[in-house]
């Protein structure tokens, strides 16, 4: 069976065996250049292009998804559009090719999409991003803080100051700043969804900096949820397990660890980005009106507290 998952055409709501829904992948032990492009991945990942079917759950909503060019953010942006939302995606400028692919799919749904490249480490950019989003969509109902940085090392001694600061800048400081900038635009019914990780609960020695940002994201999610709940704004998080996205082969894992990626989960395989999308849709939609400050685990069976 081909390892490529992107041609899956089985509707996501059809009864299927989660063990075999996707092949157990064994990616080559080779790093992708730079921050990684979805279009260069071997095997291909499934963003839900041919399988995610919307049911009108986000009709008329306006969403901003960071890191919406590839991986989990791209699958979420596509699902949001198929559920009836207009979407702004933001991403690193060198990932334009991936962003264009996602934008094309969203446009084909007849939804509005705006692609805004930039660096989340740049304070001026994060403030401007919210203004540009509100201008492009006419408001903001859903903020998905998903863009992130993960670089595997040999342990604490090999984490450089540069990497430490960049990881905290992208994963934590940008999340604080972007969310703060969004606040004045959010009304009752709005939702904020942060991407945390299994690493918040089971930190790998090779990912000490990254894992600790993810624990902080959980904490931020719960505290902010308490602050905003009285205003009718719900804040929640999604904690993915091992998901086949460009972040992993572009330094997120050591190349030698790639061939076994995701095989230690209960399902015995890595997850595909589109398997995360329904969690974001659920937390963004009013169906989850009584879910506040929660972390939804989507990890193929890795027991978490
Ligand atoms: P991805 O590489 O597809 O997405 C991450 C995106 O973040 C990139 O596309 C990039 O455009 C954006 N980004 C990174 N640095 C940026 C910066 N400085 N400025 C602006 N944008 C920046 O990988 P993904 O796995 O889909 O990652 C999405 C989120 O999921 C991340 O927060 C990641 O930590 C989290 N996560 C992933 C996994 C996994 O196994 N893939 C597991 C748990 C959590
Ligand atoms: Mg990308």
CB of 245 within 6 A of ligand 1: the answer is yes
Instruction: Report, as residue numbers or ranges, the catalytic residues.
Output: 210
Q: What share of the chain has pLDDT > 70, as a percent? A: 99
At residue 1 the predicted structure's pLDDT band, cuts being 50, 70 and 90, is very low
CA distance to 114, 210, 281, per residue, from 45 (Å): 23, 23, 20
Q: Is the pTM of this model over 0.95?
A: yes
CA distance to 25, 38, 262, 282, per residue, from 80 (Å): 27, 19, 26, 10
CB of 76 within 6 A of ligand 1: the answer is no
Residue-averaged pLDDT of the chain: 97
d(CA 182, CA 191) in angstroms, rounded, equals: 11
Dist. CA 230 → ligand 1 center (Å): 31
CB of 150 within 6 A of ligand 1: the answer is yes
**Average pLDDT over every residue of 34-54:** 96
Dist. CA 35 → ligand 2 center (Å): 7
d(CA 75, CA 80) in angstroms, rounded, equals: 9
CB of 167 within 6 A of ligand 1: the answer is no
Report the residue among 240, 269, 275, 279 best suited for mutation to probe ligand 1: largest number of ligand atoms under 8 A from its CB.
Answer: 240
**Average pLDDT over every residue of 3-15:** 84
Q: Report pLDDT digits (tens) over 205-262.
A: 999 999 999 999 999 999 999 999 999 999 999 999 999 999 999 999 999 999 999 9
At residue 169 the predicted structure's pLDDT band, cuts being 50, 70 and 90, is very high
The pLDDT score that the predictor gives to residue 63 is 99
Q: What is the dihedral of CA 116, 191, 131, 81, to 10 degrees?
A: 40
d(CA 200, CA 86) in angstroms, rounded, equals: 31
Dist. CA 69 → ligand 2 center (Å): 5
Any residues with CB less than 8 A from the CB of 145 and at least 6 apart, and which? 66, 174, 175, 178, 179, 192, 193, 194, 195, 217
Please say whether the beta carbons of 61 and 85 come within 8 A.
Answer: yes
CA distance to 114, 185, 276, per residue, from 138 (Å): 12, 10, 27
Reading the block at residue 281, the tokens are 């849709």
Domains parsed from the chain with CATH numbers: 55-298 (3.40.50.720)
Report the residue among 39, 73, 77, 239 best suited for mutation to probe ligand 1: largest number of ligand atoms under 8 A from its CB.
Answer: 73
Dist. CA 39 → ligand 2 center (Å): 9
């Amino acid at each position: 069976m081909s390892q490529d998952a992107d041609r899956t055409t089985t509707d996501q709501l059809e009864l299927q065996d989660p063990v075999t829904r996707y092949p157990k992948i064994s990616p080559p032990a080779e790093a992708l250049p730079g921050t990684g492009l979805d279009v260069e991945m071997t095997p291909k990942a499934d963003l839900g292009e041919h399988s995610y079917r919307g049911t009108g759950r986000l009709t008329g909503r306006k969403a901003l998804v960071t890191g919406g060019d590839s991986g989990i953010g791209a699958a979420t942006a596509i699902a949001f559009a198929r559920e009836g939302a207009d979407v702004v995606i933001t991403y690193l400028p060198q990932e334009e090719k991936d962003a264009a692919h996602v934008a094309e799919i969203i446009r084909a749904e007849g939804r509005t999409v705006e692609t805004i490249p930039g660096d989340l480490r740049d304070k001026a950019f994060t403030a401007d991003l919210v203004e540009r989003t509100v201008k492009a969509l006419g408001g903001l109902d859903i903020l998905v803080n998903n863009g992130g940085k993960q670089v595997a090392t040999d342990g604490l001694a090999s984490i450089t100051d540069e990497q430490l600061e960049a990881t905290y800048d992208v994963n934590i400081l940008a999340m604080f700043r972007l969310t703060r900038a969004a606040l004045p635009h959010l009304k009752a019914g709005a939702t904020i969804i942060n991407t945390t990780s299994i690493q918040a609960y089971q930190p790998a020695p090779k990912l000490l900096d990254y894992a600790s940002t993810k624990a902080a994201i959980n904490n931020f999610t719960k505290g902010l949820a308490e602050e905003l709940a009285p205003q009718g704004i719900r804040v929640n998080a999604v904690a993915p397990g091992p998901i086949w996205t460009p972040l992993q082969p572009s330094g997120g894992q050591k190349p030698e660890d790639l061939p076994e990626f995701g095989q230690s989960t209960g399902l015995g395989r890595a997850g595909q980005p589109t398997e995360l999308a329904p969690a974001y849709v659920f937390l963004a939609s009013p169906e989850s009106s009584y879910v506040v400050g929660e972390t939804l685990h989507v990890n193929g069976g890795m027991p978490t507290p």
